[in-house]
Structure 1
Amino acid sequence: MSNSERDLQSIWSFMDGVAFTQGYVDAAGTRTRYVNAGPSDAPVVVMVHGMGGTWENFIANFAEFSKHFNTYAFDLKGHGYSDKPDEPYAVSGYVDQLEGFVETLGLKDVSMFGLSIGGWISTKFTLRRPDLVKRLIVMSAWGRTRINETEEDRQKGMQFLAQRAQSVADPTIEKMDKVFSQLIADPKQRMLDLLTLRMRVYAQPNMVRTMENVFAGIMPPHWDENVLTDEELKSINRPTMVIASPDCKDEFLVMAHEYKGLIPGVEWCEVLGASHWPQWETADQVNKASIAFFKG
């Protein structure tokens, strides 16, 4: 596929046949952008995106999910078009927002579908409110103690954060493509429409400060205060699936194996041909496996 052919693709091609609603709701004091599709009387699924993302992280999943579920996704605070208070965005604060979102909309028996930090948030929410959660899927697992982190690992992490910061300070398509190269391995899948959406989000006022707050939330002491312990993962009593990308040898794969080794009765799903965004890169595989799991 040539660059010109790639540039003609649209993320909305995934949604052009879907009846959906986009709106805003107050979630624990945060004005929160969200999207909803699917029958109102169907089982509920709530999707939680990754760091720096928006609800559109799941745009390749909505059409299939909405055939079976009353499906929601939303922008975390500091992300997308939700409110951006000037404070470090720790996982505990995201969980407060998620809890407020679920309660404000009156959702019950919710199945959680979390990507990266969204999986960390969804797991913490499951631990906090097991009365509201029916099932849990975690993709590109995160949030564990970095026991064997090397200096090379730390340098890669710092380079990633520096690249994100630079992309926000002066957002261009070229910089967005570099950001997405760490999420989507195949350049042909990094369509211009997807990059342009992220560029518009990053071009909002005060986004440099906002991204500093996003990064602060995953630094000490916030990381250490919110880390998922062995005891917490062992105590999860809701059916859980971990979706891992074995082709991508990174800390997320390491942590996925830790989830697998600790959560009782966990269902393990490996998807080939994906890196950090399996729900996008291998949408057909992920949709099939996750829908089957949520349907029990």
Structure 2
Amino acid sequence: MTIWNDLTGLDHHLGYVDAGGIRTRTLRAGEGDEAVVFLHGTSGHLEAFVRNIPAHAAAGYACHAIDMIGHGYTTGPDYPYRIPRYVDHVLAYLDACGIDRAHFVGESLGGWVAGRLAADYPDRVSRLTLVAPGGTVANPQVMERIKTSTRKAVESDDIAFTRKRLELLMFDPAANISDELVEIRHAIYHQPEFVKALPNLLCLQEMENRVEDLLSPEQMGRITAPTLIVWGAQNPFGDVPEAHNLHRSIPGSRLEIFPECGHWPQHEHADHFNALHLGFLNGAQA
């Protein structure tokens, strides 16, 4: 299977939107009155959701997967990519597309951004899905693992380091990492603009930045959108107790833990995730 096989039969558009002056790559598919915005993780890109967009578009949602600031093929301005910057960029994207309110699916860093957006701009968020979200703890070992693995993949021409970076995300790499996915990420990592922006992209793996931007209990307590939390039982970047703490902090939230699953539940267990998430969007109890 390739990404194009995943998108076979889907009427979609891959292009760019000017979001507050930032040239933003976006994959759009589906028609409907309700928009679903998909946000990827640190050093990731919109291809993280190719196994999810067809099912959501078929269910009648207008789907938007974007590359966030300095990620994928989106412009990387020369400043540290802190959480408020990401939030402002996502809001600018919504405004550019004429979207007043959307459902959000945020994975890892994307969950951190979506959670902060939901806390600070509740009128822009209908339903919130946090997929192995970051941003609630500052674990030096995890932060160093992200920095080291990403830098090796970016600074070396050896594509094996890119594969190893992706393998960190999966419980079952052999079944979920195609050569194509590795090649896509390797090409992204070796753009001159991406290499130049790498220190800005990794700034949240520095303790002084991360601690200041963490989702606080007060912020999580302000999230009013119905919230679904999805976590992998073998998530390498956060243990299961972290998911339970997040669940307790967000009023009325629902927690689902996927067995035999790493940091990409939406990809490793796409059919299960899609059915669960579409039920949630259709009004299943949060």
Q: What TM-score, normalized by structure 2, do the two folds share? A: 0.93
**How has the CA–CA distance of structure 1 residues 187 and 237 changed in structure 2, closer, same or farther, with 3 Å as cutoff?**
closer
Q: What's the CA shift for 1:181? A: 1.1
Identity %: 29
Q: Which residue, 199, 211, 224 being the options, matches 2:198?
A: 211
Cross-structure match for 2:165 = 179
8 Å Cα contact 1:44-1:108 kept in structure 2: no
Cross-structure match for 2:217 = 230
8 Å Cα contact 1:234-1:263 kept in structure 2: yes
**Count of equivalent residues:** 281
Q: Distance in 2 between matches of 1:21 and 1:211?
A: 28
Q: What's the CA shift for 1:227? A: 1.0
- Can you list the C-alpha shifts for 1:146-169, whole angstroms capped at 9, x where unaligned? 3xx5xxxx3453243112101101
Q: Which residue, 12, 34, 38 being the options, matches 1:20?
A: 12
Structure 1 moving runs of 4+ over 3 Å:
247-250
8 Å Cα contact 1:140-1:277 kept in structure 2: yes
> Are residues 1:170 and 2:165 paired?
no
Q: Distance in 1 between matches of 2:5 and 2:101?
A: 30
Q: Which residue, 220, 242, 252 being the options, matches 1:255?
A: 242
8 Å Cα contact 1:112-1:136 kept in structure 2: yes
Q: Distance in 1 between matches of 2:193 and 2:250?
A: 40
Q: Distance in 2 between matches of 1:253 and 1:206?
A: 36
Cross-structure match for 1:55 = 46
**How has the CA–CA distance of structure 1 residues 171 and 292 changed in structure 2, closer, same or farther, with 3 Å as cutoff?**
farther
Q: Report the more deviating stretch, 24-33 or 241-250.
A: 241-250
Q: What TM-score, normalized by structure 1, do the two folds share? A: 0.90
Q: What's the CA shift for 1:254? A: 3.6
- Can you list the C-alpha shifts for 1:195-250, whole angstroms capped at 9, x where unaligned? 00001101111433312211113424321221111111112111001001123365
> Are residues 1:78 and 2:70 paired?
yes
Give the letter for the 2:44 counterpart.
G
Q: Distance in 2 between matches of 1:200 and 1:46?
A: 24
Q: Distance in 2 between matches of 1:239 and 1:258?
A: 17
SS at match of 2:58: coil
Give the letter for the 2:131 counterpart.
M
SS at match of 1:112: strand
**How has the CA–CA distance of structure 1 residues 235 and 160 changed in structure 2, closer, same or farther, with 3 Å as cutoff?**
closer
Q: Distance in 2 between matches of 1:265 and 1:176?
A: 39
Q: What's the CA shift for 1:251? A: 2.1
Q: What's the CA shift for 1:12? A: 1.5
Q: What's the CA shift for 1:56? A: 0.7
8 Å Cα contact 1:243-1:270 kept in structure 2: yes
8 Å Cα contact 1:145-1:227 kept in structure 2: yes
Give the letter for the 2:202 counterpart.
F
SS at match of 1:221: helix
Q: Distance in 2 between matches of 1:155 and 1:143?
A: 15
Cross-structure match for 2:270 = 283
Gapped regions of structure 2 (runs ≥ 5): none
The CA RMSD measured in Å over matched residues stands at: 1.6
Q: Distance in 1 between matches of 2:113 and 2:239?
A: 15
Gapped regions of structure 1 (runs ≥ 5): 1-8
Cross-structure match for 2:100 = 108
